[in-house]
Amino acid sequence: MKRLQYLLLILAVLLSAGCNKDLKEQLDQLQGRVAELTDSVVELSAPSGNIASNNGITYDKDFYWVDAGGSVTVHFVLENPAEVEVSAEQGWLAEVTKQSDREGEITVTAPDPASPGIVKVKATGEGGTISESMIQLFVKKPYTAAQHPRIDALAYNGFGTETALLTLDNFQKLAEAGMTMLTVEGDAIWGGADWRKQCRLAEQVGVKVILFINYTAGLYSDDPDNYKGLDALLAETKDVPVICAYQIADEPHTEAAGRLAVAKKRINELDPARPVYINLHPSSVSQAGMGAVTYEAYVDYFARVCDLEFITFDQYPVWLTGVEDGWYHSLNVVSSTAKKYGIPFWTFLLSSRLDRREDPTLENMRLQGNINLVYGSQCNQFFVWKCLSDSNYAPIMPDGTYKEVYYDIKEYTREVRNREYVFAGGTVFNIRHIGQDYYLHGTHLDKSDLPEAIGNITADGSALVSFIGNSGNEYVVICNKSWKEKLTVDVDFSREVYTIDREGVFSFQQPGQTGFTIDEGDFLVVKWK
């Protein structure tokens, strides 16, 4: 109707400008047609049949906030006496309590974890008259601490062999910084005599322990006749509940795979409940250094020969000269190999000073950790926790003082907690890149990659786009690949979706193009299903 009216207006302007008689006749015909259509127009907003307008039932609010596992009470008033039925999806629960024939309450309980939801309400009155409406539910805290998978955080090198640091206060600070695990030296030859004390302190603050037994396991793997040392250690450790894994090698060559498989098999026999940790090289190592023609062959060889329960590798990509391109290759290989064998993978980020790399900051740790997450990593490992002898900057120094990086780690792990339900236990379906550097990192984002809820994504810089499914929900995560500059992203939404900010708060997005600014190293989460 509006289009016809605009056309009439245009024609009228043309006539006023002195157009010919034919145009005037066409205008007269169109005016007659508009009159016919006007007479036959049906107001679609009016009730039709036995479906009443939404005005048949009103609520005390337009929408409601409710946290995961919590409840909210919705008060309603009916225009006419009616019976009220409610239904909800995605784990939400709704129950009606009538207070009179025209008034009542609906108690809505959120699942855990929770995404924004809708409760459908149907009121049936005399003569079958029906009023149908919906209650919109928004979530600020989408999970409770006890009811969702975790993205683990590992304090690598723990407190080393500094016995003076082994205090309850230092262990509490480690836990307060978001660490769920730390490594503890278990080989007495390397000063591991205090592993029992560290396990006791870790248990008090709710942190798990990965026990380093590289030396003891290495003796066994070189010659199984040396079983006594490994067997004696495991006889003592297997009854220590805080120990969650054993590390037996760091950055091994493929020549060591057979020997490590022997030691791992022995550990699995004596303590089958705990996995074995073998940390692999990154793709930046030479063929001679890793003992394989390709990085794909190297990672696959260890996963297969050692029957790994999970894959872990270390790479610290934020150099003074820029971000290392080979990092993305490592992530592609490790993530695809982990998916092939149906096992998780873990990754590292630099939390200390290391040669020719940038000192850790909140922004570059965001970049490292977040890129790892959007590829599917299930654990951020911080290298290192206690300052190494050749470094003068790390979360905790040998004299017990804490550096600024400690507080940056604490903030970053808090941010991860707010959105970890997107990544923990999830499945990465696809990874795509935006920007001129995509040819170094993988496949460029194409419109055909996008779900039906998103028409297009454009950015003024380099971005990584990850497509993730988790617990029946589906997300598109757009990550800023720079830790120095903010990224402007325009997203064309085809329908209503939600975005989730660093605090874990959902925001409703209407259809149409919306601009976002993504902070350095951060990401934008779009929940479209």
CATH number for the domain that contains residue 64: 2.60.40.10
Q: Does the structure show a pLDDT above 90 at 461?
A: yes
Q: Does the structure show a pLDDT above 50 at 122?
A: yes
Q: Does the structure show a pLDDT above 60 at 321?
A: yes
HEC assignment per residue over 301-327: HHHHHCCCCCEEECCCCEECCEECCHH
pLDDT of residue 28: 55
Query: Is 401 inside any structural domain?
Result: yes
List the domain range (segments joined by +) for residue 91.
51-138
| Domain stop point among 399, 425, 451 | 425
Q: DSSP letter string over 95-111? A: EEEEEETTEEEEEEE--
> 19 pLDDT band (50/70/90 cuts)?
very low
Q: For residue 163, which phi and psi values (nearest 5 degrees)?
A: -65, -25
Query: Is 443 inside any structural domain?
Result: yes
Across 450-474, average pLDDT:
95
Across 117-142, average pLDDT:
86
> 23 pLDDT band (50/70/90 cuts)?
very low
Query: Is 372 inside any structural domain?
Result: yes
Beta strands in 22-175 (DSSP E): 51-52, 57-59, 63-65, 71-78, 82-88, 93-100, 103-109, 117-125, 130-138, 152-156
Mean pLDDT of the chain, nearest integer: 88
SS3 (DSSP) at 238: coil
Query: Is 46 inside any structural domain?
Result: no
Do residue 288 and residue 435 come from a single domain? no
Do residue 284 and residue 264 come from a single domain? yes
Give CA torsion, residues 256, 257, 258, 264, to 10 deg: 110
- Dist. CA 108–CA 92, nearest whole Å: 7
Q: Does the structure show a pLDDT above 50 at 54?
A: no
pLDDT of residue 104: 95
Do residue 491 and residue 432 come from a single domain? yes
Do residue 382 and residue 237 come from a single domain? yes
- Dist. CA 139–CA 273, nearest whole Å: 37
Query: Is 147 inside any structural domain?
Result: no
What's the token pair of residue 124?
């049936």
Q: pLDDT tens-digit profile of 229-286?
A: 999 999 999 899 999 999 999 999 999 999 999 999 999 999 999 999 999 999 999 9
pLDDT of residue 324: 95
Do residue 298 and residue 446 come from a single domain? no
> 49 pLDDT band (50/70/90 cuts)?
very low
Q: Does the structure show a pLDDT above 90 at 292?
A: yes
Structural domains of the chain, count: 4
Tell me what percent of the residues of the chain surpass a pLDDT of 90.
71
pLDDT of residue 13: 39
Do residue 32 and residue 83 come from a single domain? no
> 3 pLDDT band (50/70/90 cuts)?
very low
β-strand partners of 468: 428, 475
- Dist. CA 390–CA 385, nearest whole Å: 14
Do residue 159 and residue 81 come from a single domain? no
Query: Is 45 inside any structural domain?
Result: no
Tell me what percent of the residues of the chain surpass a pLDDT of 70.
89
> 445 pLDDT band (50/70/90 cuts)?
very high
Q: pLDDT tens-digit profile of 203-233?
A: 999 999 999 999 999 999 988 888 899 999 9
Q: Cis peptide leading into 384, omega within 30 of 0?
A: yes
CATH at 199: 3.20.20.80
What's the token pair of residue 155?
């304090």
The region, left, alpha or beta by phi > 0 then psi within -120 to 50, assigned to residue 482 is beta
SS3 (DSSP) at 280: strand
Which range among 219-223, 300-304, 431-435 shows the weakest confidence by mean pLDDT?
A: 219-223
Q: pLDDT tens-digit profile of 156-206?
A: 999 988 899 999 999 999 999 999 999 999 998 787 779 999 999 999 999
- Dist. CA 353–CA 388, nearest whole Å: 9
Do residue 105 and residue 205 come from a single domain? no
> 482 pLDDT band (50/70/90 cuts)?
very high
- Dist. CA 342–CA 22, nearest whole Å: 74
| Among 184, 204, 198, 174, CA closest to 409 | 174
Do residue 407 and residue 441 come from a single domain? no
Do residue 193 and residue 278 come from a single domain? yes
The Cα-based distances of 52 to 59, 74, 129, 492 in angstroms read 16, 21, 7, 34
pLDDT of residue 253: 98
Q: Does the structure show a pLDDT above 60 at 30?
A: no
Which range among 128-137, 427-436, 467-476 shows the weakest confidence by mean pLDDT?
A: 128-137
Question: For the chain, what is the total number of helices (H) and then of strands (E)?
Answer: 13, 28
| Residue pair 212/154 in contact by the 8 Å Cβ criterion | no
> 15 pLDDT band (50/70/90 cuts)?
very low
